[in-house]
Structure 1
């Protein structure tokens, strides 16, 4: 039944992600164009640092799937593409592999096909130290993603709905495992208060994973007989809003959720992320086009991101913090309600106070 659920998740996610994506909050952020800011693309470096580890590219294949024969083949395709393009990759949730050892190969294929790449294992926040160490070992993982998905569990017909132990469990895992830990949402966003809480638990890397991409409330509700949670499909904060709302002192932010193209990657990096996760967009390519199509697209993203950084005059990912951003629409309204100085973002290149993550003073 759990393997069938994994296949259902992929099919439903594909229905959401095939074709051209609609508008999301990335469209409310605009980089102010300075016509003479450009530099030589040959001087641009896409390198970034996450959890003390250097990545050659600031975007990655985010955790998606595994746990059935068909999803194992998807993981194979994703892993080969990651190997051929040199980008990091995360597995989907490995809880099914702990319950059903016959599904372990559907995850281990990631390391088999990508023996030298940066691979992240993935497990829910309800799993303790022993299970965390187990999945790290199974993948020889370079990092561990802990996903927090309270709203998904709430809507999921067979969901686990006691979330009270999650903070203590996360704290214990962070203290015990030998690799960096990334705490991530699954598409509903990490608020300022949540990131402050995570910092207090010892977490130094978090993926805000906001609304705008694959909608797990919609997916799980479609699996319910009556579809009675349809009113929750708009729950959560967008990826852009989460980046703007994040406390400026949080060590390392990653961003995912609704990333459709290299311009969205550029915007997320300019808003303070050090790396950008891509799931649904790459899943559709993996399933519909296979390895060759996905490799071609990832390489195109790398080329385009390099050129975009050159156009805005940013030789490094960190230099994007000095680009000028115009925030409009519902995101600007979010900033006003949360006490974030959106206007200051439009003058960063002129030497204004660095408000990369919003410039709020309060909590």
Structure 2
């Protein structure tokens, strides 16, 4: 894996953001408005707990990049913004740094610029347990994201086509590292079946990372001479569909994939996510305006999210998960086919018991 590929990923992901809105499962989620339910904003707390750590904000800078001079500069700006706002931050895959120590600093900058922050290292599921330990050590990481990306690998010109060893590899990683392991898709979603398998392996945390944001089929297909995998664009489930489809015994859930606004953050939190990862929306900001622009954007999102919870009458995230939510569109069709009952979500303030999985 080369630094050029890392630069390509940033360039192509930014181009997708610039191209504008895509079909997104978050648009299928509507809060029921109760005009007299609002509370004072100064009563609202946005604190959450992610992977056993209490954090001041329930959204975070999700895995993006590293591995070249340009992406190292991006990571520096991301880390500064994280330090100044208190949000958690995840690295891009550090695999390239494990093989090339010369680029390790492009990842290590996340910790160097953010010494007291909550930092997640990121590594592919196919890597060894020893590599996982090295990834955590490189960033002095508080948690390890292990990404699963079979769809991306399928389209990637130099990608793997061998996936059968992944569950055993993941089990070895979970057993080896002494920080929380968060299994993360890269934008194609984690199904109920997958979430149950993760729980059975012993995974305690999972980022469902659904479609609707950066599409790595499109990213990798642009790197193919014939652009011959266009038909796979849009593959997978949205974060919203994954949250609704999650089984009762699922790992503690985080959500990402196509998060465009504080409203999308509130939607994911209301459907059970403990935290919400943001990549593409923040990448565009940092590329255009650097660390200061992203700091301002994160601060604005925190203010807006506080206002939304006040509007909904929710003092904290637990109360937000009791607000009335209506799910329609393609997501409702998906849930009907999967046997997920959505009716209780729309009547939660009536105190009726929920049978949503």
Shorter-chain TM-score tier: over 0.9
TM-score normalised by structure 2 residue count? 0.98
Partner of 2:122: 122
Question: Superposed, which structure 2 residues align to 1:1-363 within 5 Å?
Answer: 2-18=2-18, 20-355=20-355, 359-360=356-357
Q: Give me the whole-angstrom Cα distance separating, in 1, the residues matched to 2:167 and 2:142.
A: 23
SS of the counterpart of 1:92? strand
* Unaligned residue ranges in structure 1 (runs of 5+): none
Q: Give me the whole-angstrom Cα distance separating, in 1, the residues matched to 2:340 and 2:254.
A: 20
1:251 Cα shift? Answer: 3.8
1:21 Cα shift? Answer: 2.8
Q: Give me the whole-angstrom Cα distance separating, in 2, the residues matched to 1:18 and 1:217.
A: 17
1:136 Cα shift? Answer: 0.4
1:160 Cα shift? Answer: 1.3
TM-score normalised by structure 1 residue count? 0.97
1:29 Cα shift? Answer: 0.5
Q: Give me the whole-angstrom Cα distance separating, in 2, the residues matched to 1:69 and 1:347.
A: 52
* Unaligned residue ranges in structure 2 (runs of 5+): none
Q: Deviations over 1:181-230 (max 9, x none)?
A: 00000000000000000000000100000001000011101100111111
User: 2:188–2:235: 8 Å Cα contact kept in structure 1?
Assistant: yes
1:161 Cα shift? Answer: 1.5
SS of the counterpart of 2:92? coil
- C-alpha change, 1:19 and 1:44, in structure 2 (3 Å) is farther
The worse-fitting range, judged by mean Cα deviation, of 305-314 and 248-257 is: 248-257
1:249 Cα shift? Answer: 2.7
SS of the counterpart of 2:346? helix
